[in-house]
Amino acid sequence: MEESLMTQEHKIFRNTFRKYAEKEVAPNIEKWEELGFVPRENWKKLGEQGFLCPWMEEEYGGYGADFIYSVIISEELARVGALGFMVWLHSDIVVPYIHTFGNDEQKAKWLPGAASGETLMAVAMTEPDTGSDLGAIKTKAVKDGDSWVINGSKTFISLGEQCDLAIVACVTNPDAEVPQRGISLVVVEDGTPGFTKGKKFKKMGFKMSDTNELFFEDCRVPLGNLLGEENRGFLYLMQKLQQERLLCSVMAQASAEVMLEHTLQYCRERKAFGQAIGSMQHNMFKLAEMATEIEIGRTFLDSLVMDHISGKDIVKRVSMAKWRLSEIVNQVAYDCLQLHGGYGFIEEYPICRFYRDVRIIPIFAGTNEIMKQIIGKMMGF
């Protein structure tokens, strides 16, 4: 984020978290990718430092910070190449469901652990046959006495293996005239009988994040685990997707910026035919094109962040940002790797990891095709 938009406190926080990321995150990336997850002790370290859910009130373990702090954390993790350390998902996507729609008892029970790193959370929307079509989900929650009985399955769930609780989108009114109006959010805690976690997926990128299937077979949870009002779950999901897509845009922009930094340095140092490869006209033009696209993206993104903080409806523009910036970051990854030549294909070079990690950004949080559909409908079509 441009420094002109940050207070002195923001700048101090960036410097503090940057040092943390360089010392505690960067040296562990290779190990975490081999493990396929970030160990819980590292989540707890984040919590001890106040880097999880900084926006949360002090009574729950946060310090009431604004959204810029969350942006800084996501940018700095991207800077060290740790896109798969999904702090942003836990802190700024999943936990806000509890914070916004939970009652006082639910907040007191679950939020402190979310801030400390003791309680990791996942949101379970996607199913094997639904993809982006949330209105077509089949997982059902049926009332039985003082419980909900859940049956169904979810897939592609990030933090699915480690999560201590999952916020599960379920059909609670199968007879609803509009399917979206029959969906509720139900919280399922790890260890609940009938709730099982499938094997981790082996992914192309984001290798340090655990992603897997979740299964529910006569899974019985208290009626009090309903989040918010019954049959309003789809509306709740839509309300939170604005911030999720904004954070995807932050991740894309920050990744593009750091890839260009690495590539500029490489192109200045690498010599061919007696000159730095960056001074060759074709390569120079490529670098100029990338720098221009990235500069425009930064201006657009920062305006969205400030509008989001001020409470404006940015659904249309954030959909534009999510699809466009995720396309730009993938083009930047392609061009930067090409400029690295054979070295770009070697894991020791950061561009290699970025190349495989950023490919998911046009897919998750709603595919770019869905983003264009949203934009088109908001244009009156």
Give the up-direction half-sphere exposure of residue 127: CA atoms within 13 A in the CB hemisphere. 19
Give the residue from 59, 94, 119 where a domain finishes: 119
Read off the pTM: 0.94
Give residue 196's domain range: 122-229
Q: Looking at 75, 76, 161, 244, which residue is catalytic?
A: 244
Give the residue from 102, 119, 136 where a domain finishes: 119
Is 244 an annotated catalytic residue?
yes
Compute the distance between CA of residue 300 and CA of residue 302 in angstroms, rounded to an integer.
6
Number of structural domains the chain divides into = 3
| Local structure of residue 23 (DSSP, 8 states) | I
Q: What is the CATH number of the domain that holds 36?
A: 1.10.540.10
Q: pLDDT by residue for the chain (381 residues), tens digit each?
A: 888 889 999 999 999 999 999 999 999 999 999 999 999 999 999 999 999 999 999 999 999 999 999 999 999 999 999 999 999 999 999 999 999 999 999 999 999 999 999 999 999 999 998 877 777 899 999 999 999 999 999 999 999 999 999 999 999 999 998 888 999 999 999 999 999 999 899 999 999 999 999 999 999 999 999 999 999 999 999 889 899 999 999 999 999 999 999 999 999 999 999 999 999 999 999 999 999 999 999 999 999 999 999 999 999 999 999 999 999 999 999 999 999 999 999 998 999 999 999 999 999 988 999 999 999 999 999
Amino acid symbol at 293: E
CB 291 within 8 A of CB 257: no
CB 96 within 8 A of CB 23: no
Q: What 3-state class would DSSP assign to 287? A: helix
Q: Judge if 7 and 66 occupy the same domain.
A: yes
Could you tell me how many helices (H) and strands (E) the chain has, helices first?
Answer: 12, 10
Q: Judge if 216 and 245 occupy the same domain.
A: no
Compute the distance between CA of residue 234 and CA of residue 366 in angstroms, rounded to an integer.
14
